[in-house]
Chain A
């Protein structure tokens, strides 16, 4: 018998049983990856390899690893939906349940729940090579379902698994499993009462008594006053509550009955208790979870990951920036001067550059996360970091996303998908943008170098100040997490329940596949938004265009009324330069000599700087732009922070990326040249800038207020774009923007006004 229509086979199993490897062995690794509707959980599906499928067409649908069908959240509900073919999922023709040969009793629990649904099932007893003397025939006999020993990494047993699957698919109906749980009359009565209230959609056309009871099991196991399930009719909810109130401890009775049945089966066959790998793992954990050595290793691993993100991504970022810069120059050479040229060069190419510049860090972060996850160390991170993270209202697994926020919030936010609960993901996303990302460094370094002495009272002021900014932001982020987890994102606290899986060597190919997929997803899902936002910002700061005729007559100042209206948002040369010096300063606690040279030279030029300001004659075009006008209109609101409209324009420009503050400010002051060339003259300009009454605009106090503002404000459209993408709406990005701006404004206000009151 051959079939032309696709057979659908669901792949199910506990976490860490090698389900992904088996999926790859069955499908050759090809996958159509999409998200489950409304959830940030990946749904992978692919065709069973032709050599395995014979004349059948079989599509394999992977499901998230789960210990049980019962669910508490919409994420955990995926399994039951896939099993019942709800919410657009195809109704499965058969199941492959993947079990860890060394963890049979726990894996059989899920198997038992699935068998109760009476769907054709084949069991893959995976990692069979790691156990000695497991009698598969005896197991199959006592379960009454096909059992095939597999080693998904080598492909051992996969052809046989496919053969047994084909036989099941061709069969009329599933065989009656021998393993069935002798539930007592009280449980049966409870199940039947619940099954009367089950919605039609769950039951399908014709549901047997057994299937109805199995669905009642799901309802009884999942629904309670605190669950976060979707699509549960009120009637069913009420019935479950009623039945539960009438019986004594159904949870215990049902789960115990199941484990009793499992233990009886396992008693008949010889099943090993601990595998070689589990024993080896325990020896490794003696070191890696040792209170002292383990903590030390943890710190080393995390430092390595962070260092790689912070510094290791730099060559790739610089290369991408050079490429974008080259393309911009090429466009400007090839096309005639004018708005089209500027739009292409500054708007489009600059905008695309603003998107791809994130790729190196995204790829690196997901590579590391993949290694940590696949090796089994991620669970240890969650275990070791739980005590600290818990006090902030965060899950231990949020540690890596939080840490990578110090490099860049964009990959950090993307990586929150590894957190299972929506609330944990949201909370982490709300707080990560407060971490001092590398794009803030060029801003700090400009302000610190321009307004603060290298040393004072024998202390390296500049380095200490930078360190203080890092600590200040970290403290604020932790405080924000603490407050948000108890207010806006207050939810039922879910106790920690972690499995510490046995260690395993990560495999290169699947790791690279994940990295590729994540990069693609970012480009596809967030790239467009970032591009559009960059173009809008470019337009804001470039229009209306100043009539050049009005200026040509006036002076040489025309020189800077050229196409560099919005000097592309990629200014990482200055960023990386700043990282190099400023970060080193912070680390060493000593002001680098380089900075001293810069300031000395700048001071020499200081006297002349003020005289050159040509604003009266021919103002820089950016000052006439809509952006400039908006900033002027906002000046009364900025004044209490010590900012004038020119800084306001810089802040506006910085939305494209924080470091753009430096180049935008340079444009406002009509300074030409790339960032490195511009930074020296810009510093002089800032020092020379005077209020109408002759007092300096840029005082150290104002500089501090500006840095505090940058530390706390969400000056980054890319961050907001990925938050929108990950949360599926504008609510959370608007909230992040709102609360961070309020925080930034308030803190800068306090710093500036407080400082003034104290006489600074």
Chain B
């Protein structure tokens, strides 16, 4: 499953990160490396973008990119 499929408030573990190289690199650099736990906090009005919490910081990415982040629920 992907980050975009998570239910709001669920914590999951990152399995892999995909997407365009530069963006993927930036996501990894922000600490979204495989093994990190991430929570889907909420979604903006119209269902996009999404708000995530990982490593104590709050980030927002769009649904399309969230779909390239594969996660598993432990």
On chain B, the residues within 8 Å of A226 by CB distance are: 20-22
- The smallest beta-carbon distance between B16 and chain A, in angstroms, is 8
- The smallest beta-carbon distance between A613 and chain B, in angstroms, is 58
On chain B, the residues within 8 Å of A109 by CB distance are: 29, 31
- 19 residue pairs from A and B, CB less than 8 Å apart: A70-B25, A70-B29, A103-B57, A105-B56, A106-B55, A251-B21, A255-B33, A282-B41, A289-B44, A291-B45, A387-B44, A495-B20, A495-B23, A495-B61, A495-B62, A496-B60, A497-B61, A499-B57, A502-B58
Known contacts: A109-B29, A386-B62, A495-B65. The answer to whether A103 contacts B24 by CB under 8 A is no
Q: Mark A95-108, 1 if CB is under 8 A from B, else 0.
A: 00000001101100
Known contacts: A383-B51, A383-B60, A387-B48. The answer to whether A497 contacts B23 by CB under 8 A is yes
- CB nearest neighbor in B for A298: B45
Tell me the chain A residues, 520-557 only, with Cβ under 8 Å from chain B.
Answer: none
On chain B, the residues within 8 Å of A278 by CB distance are: 56, 58
| Residue from B51, B61, B62 within 8 A of A289 (CB atoms) | B51
Whole-angstrom CA separation of A105 from B21 in the bound complex: 22
| Contacting pair A500 B25 (CB below 8 A) | no
| Contacting pair B60 A256 (CB below 8 A) | no
| Contacting pair A255 B28 (CB below 8 A) | yes
Q: Mark A368-391, 1 if CB is under 8 A from B, else 0.
A: 000000000001000110110010
- The smallest beta-carbon distance between B29 and chain A, in angstroms, is 4
Whole-angstrom CA separation of A650 from B73 in the bound complex: 69
Whole-angstrom CA separation of A462 from B61 in the bound complex: 45
Known contacts: A289-B44, A495-B19, A498-B60. The answer to whether A251 contacts B49 by CB under 8 A is no
Whole-angstrom CA separation of A534 from B28 in the bound complex: 52
| Contacting pair B30 A67 (CB below 8 A) | yes
Whole-angstrom CA separation of A259 from B54 in the bound complex: 13
| Contacting pair A497 B27 (CB below 8 A) | yes
Chain A residues with CB under 8 Å of chain B are 67-68, 70, 72, 102-103, 105-106, 109, 221, 224, 226-227, 251-252, 255-256, 259, 273-275, 278, 281-282, 285, 289, 291, 294-295, 379, 383-384, 386-387, 390, 494-502
| Contacting pair A295 B45 (CB below 8 A) | yes
- The smallest beta-carbon distance between A423 and chain B, in angstroms, is 14
Known contacts: A289-B42, A295-B45. The answer to whether A496 contacts B61 by CB under 8 A is yes
Known contacts: A67-B30, A259-B33, A383-B51. The answer to whether A251 contacts B44 by CB under 8 A is no
**What 3 pairs across the A-B complex have the smallest Cβ distances?**
A255-B28, A498-B60, A500-B58
| Residue from A282, A386, A501 within 8 A of B48 (CB atoms) | A386
| Residue from A105, A221, A294, A499 within 8 A of B59 (CB atoms) | A499
B-side interface mostly: mixed
| Residue from A72, A274, A275, A500 within 8 A of B60 (CB atoms) | A500
On chain A, the residues within 8 Å of B24 by CB distance are: 251
- The smallest beta-carbon distance between B2 and chain A, in angstroms, is 15
Whole-angstrom CA separation of A573 from B3 in the bound complex: 56
Whole-angstrom CA separation of A669 from B55 in the bound complex: 70
Whole-angstrom CA separation of A508 from B67 in the bound complex: 42
| Contacting pair A498 B22 (CB below 8 A) | no
| Contacting pair A67 B26 (CB below 8 A) | yes
Chain B residues with CB under 8 Å of chain A are 17, 19-31, 33-34, 36, 41-42, 44-46, 48-49, 51, 55-62, 64-65
On chain A, the residues within 8 Å of B26 by CB distance are: 67-68, 497
Known contacts: A384-B44, A387-B45, A495-B64. The answer to whether A259 contacts B19 by CB under 8 A is no
On chain B, the residues within 8 Å of A294 by CB distance are: 45
| Contacting pair A68 B56 (CB below 8 A) | no
Whole-angstrom CA separation of A256 from B36 in the bound complex: 10
| Contacting pair A103 B56 (CB below 8 A) | yes
On chain B, the residues within 8 Å of A289 by CB distance are: 42, 44, 51
Whole-angstrom CA separation of A631 from B73 in the bound complex: 73
- The smallest beta-carbon distance between B25 and chain A, in angstroms, is 5
| Contacting pair B34 A256 (CB below 8 A) | yes
Whole-angstrom CA separation of A8 from B30 in the bound complex: 29
On chain B, the residues within 8 Å of A274 by CB distance are: 56
- The smallest beta-carbon distance between A154 and chain B, in angstroms, is 23
On chain B, the residues within 8 Å of A259 by CB distance are: 31, 33, 36
| Contacting pair A252 B51 (CB below 8 A) | no
| Contacting pair A106 B48 (CB below 8 A) | no
On chain A, the residues within 8 Å of B22 by CB distance are: 72, 224, 226-227
- CB nearest neighbor in B for A66: B29
On chain B, the residues within 8 Å of A494 by CB distance are: 23
Whole-angstrom CA separation of A142 from B36 in the bound complex: 22
| Contacting pair A384 B56 (CB below 8 A) | no
On chain A, the residues within 8 Å of B27 by CB distance are: 497
Known contacts: A109-B31, A259-B33, A387-B46. The answer to whether A496 contacts B51 by CB under 8 A is no
| Contacting pair B25 A499 (CB below 8 A) | no
| Contacting pair B59 A497 (CB below 8 A) | yes
On chain B, the residues within 8 Å of A68 by CB distance are: 26, 29
On chain A, the residues within 8 Å of B21 by CB distance are: 224, 226, 251
On chain A, the residues within 8 Å of B19 by CB distance are: 495
- The smallest beta-carbon distance between A60 and chain B, in angstroms, is 26
| Contacting pair B28 A251 (CB below 8 A) | yes
On chain B, the residues within 8 Å of A224 by CB distance are: 21-22
| Contacting pair A103 B59 (CB below 8 A) | no
| Contacting pair A383 B44 (CB below 8 A) | yes
Whole-angstrom CA separation of A390 from B29 in the bound complex: 24
- CB nearest neighbor in B for A105: B55
| Contacting pair A106 B44 (CB below 8 A) | no
On chain A, the residues within 8 Å of B33 by CB distance are: 252, 255-256, 259
Contacts A252-B28, A256-B33 known; list 14 others, CB within 8 Å.
A68-B29, A102-B56, A103-B55, A226-B22, A259-B36, A274-B56, A494-B23, A495-B20, A495-B23, A497-B26, A498-B60, A499-B59, A500-B51, A502-B58
- The smallest beta-carbon distance between B5 and chain A, in angstroms, is 18
On chain A, the residues within 8 Å of B57 by CB distance are: 103, 106, 499
- CB nearest neighbor in A for B66: A495
- The smallest beta-carbon distance between B43 and chain A, in angstroms, is 8
- CB nearest neighbor in A for B19: A495
Whole-angstrom CA separation of A682 from B12 in the bound complex: 71
- The smallest beta-carbon distance between B33 and chain A, in angstroms, is 5
- The smallest beta-carbon distance between B42 and chain A, in angstroms, is 6
- The smallest beta-carbon distance between B12 and chain A, in angstroms, is 17
Whole-angstrom CA separation of A721 from B33 in the bound complex: 46
- The smallest beta-carbon distance between A408 and chain B, in angstroms, is 29
Whole-angstrom CA separation of A294 from B43 in the bound complex: 12
- The smallest beta-carbon distance between A602 and chain B, in angstroms, is 48
| Contacting pair B58 A496 (CB below 8 A) | no
| Residue from A252, A379, A496, A501 within 8 A of B62 (CB atoms) | A496
Whole-angstrom CA separation of A106 from B28 in the bound complex: 10
| Contacting pair B61 A386 (CB below 8 A) | no
Whole-angstrom CA separation of A259 from B34 in the bound complex: 10
| Residue from B31, B34, B61 within 8 A of A106 (CB atoms) | B31
- The smallest beta-carbon distance between A283 and chain B, in angstroms, is 12
On chain A, the residues within 8 Å of B58 by CB distance are: 278, 281-282, 285, 499-502
- The smallest beta-carbon distance between A280 and chain B, in angstroms, is 13
| Contacting pair A255 B59 (CB below 8 A) | no
| Contacting pair A251 B25 (CB below 8 A) | yes
| Residue from B17, B20, B30, B44 within 8 A of A386 (CB atoms) | B44
- CB nearest neighbor in A for B58: A500
Whole-angstrom CA separation of A502 from B65 in the bound complex: 23
On chain A, the residues within 8 Å of B41 by CB distance are: 282
On chain A, the residues within 8 Å of B48 by CB distance are: 386-387
